[in-house]
Amino acid sequence: MPRTLWWENNQLKMIDQRILPLRYEVISYDDHHAVAAAISDMVVRGAPAIGAAGGFGMALAALHSPATDRAGLLAELEQAKSVLDAARPTAVNLSWATARILNYARRSVLADMAEVRAAVLAEAQRIADEDVEINRRMGAFGAEIVPDQANILTHCNAGSLATVDYGTTLGVVRAAVAAGKRVHVWVDETRPRLQGARLTAWELMQDGIAMTLIADNAAGMLMRLGKVDLVLFGADRVAANGDVANKIGSYKLAVIARENGIPCYSVVPTPTIDLSLAHGDLIPIEERSAREVTHVGAEQIAPDGVPVYNPAFDVTPHHYLTGIITEEGICYPPFAVSLRRAVEMAEKRRGDR
């Protein structure tokens, strides 16, 4: 499988994740407004992949801008950033990537507009390439805490499809398997969008990694019966104190894991850590369409007119987490100290751009 998204012939190519695993299709984008719509509609999803898509969306805005001077181009990039950032407000990687592109363009000393546009595209490509490196680094650190013959419980999809390639949570699983550890993955179906059933199960089966799909409500029973050794899930935003916003249902898993003495880790690239927010209650939680709950695919399963509440994410308070796995190592409490150190190390390593 190629990367989840890539640049080709002055277009952004993305795997359409809405129709997997039944069909595999690639959609091409040549306009940042269309990229924003694709992010909102979940053609692409997963915080790191959304961030990379946002970076390429900024490159498209620069490529097609009619501006003839730096001031005009920067103004258009600022507008493009606003459009892209609004597509999904919880995943901080999106605004992180668009801000990185905009700041890079602001700092550029290039005078020729064609050179500025090429430099913006190169920076977007760096964001995508760095994501793959980050995931592999996280996988190596995370594999160290995976026991041999572990039964791992996952939620949502935090695999290759949630990133540019390799994955965050599934990156840890893949790295553990590559290290010779025998693992089995319990895959939460993850209502209402079924990212676990559709995407995580598909990825693991493609890789030949042992897995079993379960209904979300079976997770607690499995933990109580001693059939889960480790809970792993990703994140869309992490507050400075270690509170983690992830796909709805993650909080419940962390609480039940604590009740049953099971280690629970969030697997998080440092661009997902938002040190500007003191705690998780400050993280904006996206609420999505009622149709996601009232329908499965095209089939309606609920009465007409039923009231629906559909938050896309919940927040897991940091005290339910054993640790947070990053590309700079595993962060342990106090998270306010260890997360800041990880972010600073990452910024130093990439010479923060």
Average pLDDT over residues 323-341: 98
Give me the DSSP letters along 10-52.
TEEEEE-TTSTTT---EEEE--HHHHHHHHHHTSS-SHHHHHH
Catalytic hit among 85, 165, 188, 236: 236
Judged against a pLDDT cut of 80, whether residue 174 lies above it is answered with: yes
Helical spans, DSSP H, in the chain:
32-41, 47-64, 70-85, 92-107, 113-143, 169-178, 195, 201-207, 219-224, 250-259, 291-294, 335-350
Judged against a pLDDT cut of 80, whether residue 200 lies above it is answered with: yes
pLDDT tens, residue by residue, 40-75: 999 999 999 999 999 999 999 999 999 988 899 999
Average pLDDT over residues 209-235: 98
Report how far residue 215's alpha carbon sits from residue 349's, in angstroms, rounded to the nearest whole number: 41
With bands split at pLDDT 50, 70 and 90, how would you rate the model's confidence at 350? Answer: confident
What pLDDT is recorded for position 40? Answer: 97
How many of the other CB atoms lie within 10 Å of CB of 305? 8
Q: What is the mean pLDDT of the chain?
A: 96
With bands split at pLDDT 50, 70 and 90, how would you rate the model's confidence at 113? Answer: confident
What pLDDT is recorded for position 352? Answer: 66
What pLDDT is recorded for position 108? Answer: 82
Average pLDDT over residues 314-318: 98
With bands split at pLDDT 50, 70 and 90, how would you rate the model's confidence at 208? Answer: very high
pLDDT tens, residue by residue, 186-196: 999 999 999 99
Task: Give the residue from 64, 54, 62 showing the smallest Cα distance to 98.
Answer: 54
Average pLDDT over residues 292-296: 96
DSSP assigned state of 146: P
Judged against a pLDDT cut of 80, whether residue 353 lies above it is answered with: no
Average pLDDT over residues 100-115: 87
In the residue annotation, 129 being an active-site residue is answered as no
Task: List, in order of start, the domains of the chain with CATH numbers.
Answer: 5-136 (1.20.120.420), 144-350 (3.40.50.10470)
What pLDDT is recorded for position 233? Answer: 98
With bands split at pLDDT 50, 70 and 90, how would you rate the model's confidence at 14? Answer: very high
